[in-house]
Structure 1
Amino acid sequence: MRRKLHRTPLLTLLAAGLLAITGAMTPSGAHGPSRQKITLTTEVPASPADVWAVIGNFQDMSWHPAVFSTTGEGGNNIDATRVVTLGKEGGPTISEVLYKYSAEKMSYSYRITDVKVEVLPVTNYSSHLTVKPGKDGGSLIEWRGAFYRGYPNNDPPENLNDEAAIAAVSAVYQAGLDALSERFAKK
């Protein structure tokens, strides 16, 4: 008498084992950093055209109090570059590239191509700066960004974790928006 093998339970067992093994090796089994997003805004009592005249030139960040100088190439054309020097001559730098620009929509988008995490604790950073009509002929200035923390692996040090990245980018945006609020305050 020949015995008939029951393949179904064996195949089920093999499939479950393979699933358990491969599941442990897939990204869903690991936990890494999440992309962070922030948006800060401020309203100023100046026309959008007046505000855009100050912030709309990608090559000029003199309106931001942390910026010592900005140098670059390409004007406001896509793929234009700039190097922002912070604080003082010879201070830390951030290199950026423009990837969207619309004078009509009063908006531009850029990404960081080079920065030390000691200067800004982020990686894979992109940002958008926009001026929109606000209340009573004023303007709404919106600065938003998306980025990963400065330490891409698990268990980041405190100075390179998500909270540090969010705090640093928020501080940069808030300082710029505060300077613009002060500049355009009704006198």
Structure 2
Amino acid sequence: MMRWSLLLLGALTCLGPLAASAHGPTPQKVEEKIVLKSSPADVWAVVSDFGGLANWHPGVETAEATGGNKPGAERTLTLKSGGVIVDGLDEYNAEEMSYGYRLSKENIEALPVSFYSATLSVKPGDGGGSEVVWLGRFYRADTSNFPPENLNDQAAVKAMETFFREGLEGLKAKVAAGK
């Protein structure tokens, strides 16, 4: 009996580390913010159209949308770097100047993530200005235990940070130009 107990303990000790490394990917999070001198209403006028991302994001060549700003709407983004991303609108609140959306169709060549959900919101800032917050939660493109470098957590975080940051900088330029 003692011998079996020792064998079982030995087996569990050997297998424990394998189980710990076999958990798969963990969710990642990126939050980018920008402070603008323009009023929240002026900034919201630019970002409020879910299908209008190409109007202010320099990395988006075109955006085709169906469904307006109602939950269930979809937008298809063609990126200047190549690739297409399809997003679905989950929630839209004009009063709170915020909307949430998710990736509807994965394209890991365009963006190395397998899934994301994101929220874009405009909040009052100091001196009548605004703060725009773009928050995303996502999983890396390769959800296996040992992904290649171009599809791992770091690649996913970098891609999402870059996409959000470039978008916010484009928004800043668009709002400053008064267009």
Question: TM-score when scaled to structure 2?
Answer: 0.87
- CA distance in structure 1 between the aligned counterparts of 2:41 and 2:174, rounded to whole angstroms: 14
* Matched-pair contact (CA < 8 Å) for 1:40–1:142: yes
Match for residue 82 of structure 1? 75
Match for residue 36 of structure 2? 44
Q: Does structure 1 residue 141 correspond to structure 2 residue 132?
A: yes
SS of alignment partner, residue 75 of structure 1: coil
Shift of 1:66: 1.0
Q: How does 1:161-180 map to 2 (within 5 A)?
A: 161-180=152-171
Shift of 1:29: 6.2
Match for residue 54 of structure 1? 46
Q: Does structure 1 residue 33 correspond to structure 2 residue 22?
A: no
- CA distance in structure 2 between the aligned counterparts of 1:27 and 1:76, rounded to whole angstroms: 44
- CA distance in structure 2 between the aligned counterparts of 1:107 and 1:157, rounded to whole angstroms: 35
Task: Tell me: CA distance 1:157–1:131, structure 2 relative to 1, closer, same or farther (3 Å).
Answer: same
Shift of 1:20: 3.8
SS of alignment partner, residue 164 of structure 1: helix
- CA distance in structure 2 between the aligned counterparts of 1:184 and 1:40, rounded to whole angstroms: 17
Q: Does structure 1 residue 96 correspond to structure 2 residue 87?
A: yes
Question: TM-score when scaled to structure 1?
Answer: 0.83
Match for residue 120 of structure 1? 111
**Structure 1 unaligned blocks of 5 or more:** 1-8
**Structure 2 unaligned blocks of 5 or more:** none
Q: Return the letter of the residue paired with 1:130.
A: S
Task: Tell me: CA distance 1:50–1:27, structure 2 relative to 1, closer, same or farther (3 Å).
Answer: farther
Coordinate RMSD, CA, aligned: 2.8
Q: Return the letter of the residue paired with 2:26.
A: S
- CA distance in structure 2 between the aligned counterparts of 1:176 and 1:42, rounded to whole angstroms: 10
Task: Tell me: CA distance 1:29–1:118, structure 2 relative to 1, closer, same or farther (3 Å).
Answer: closer
* Matched-pair contact (CA < 8 Å) for 1:45–1:184: no
Identity among equivalent positions (%) equals 42
- CA distance in structure 1 between the aligned counterparts of 2:19 and 2:49, rounded to whole angstroms: 41
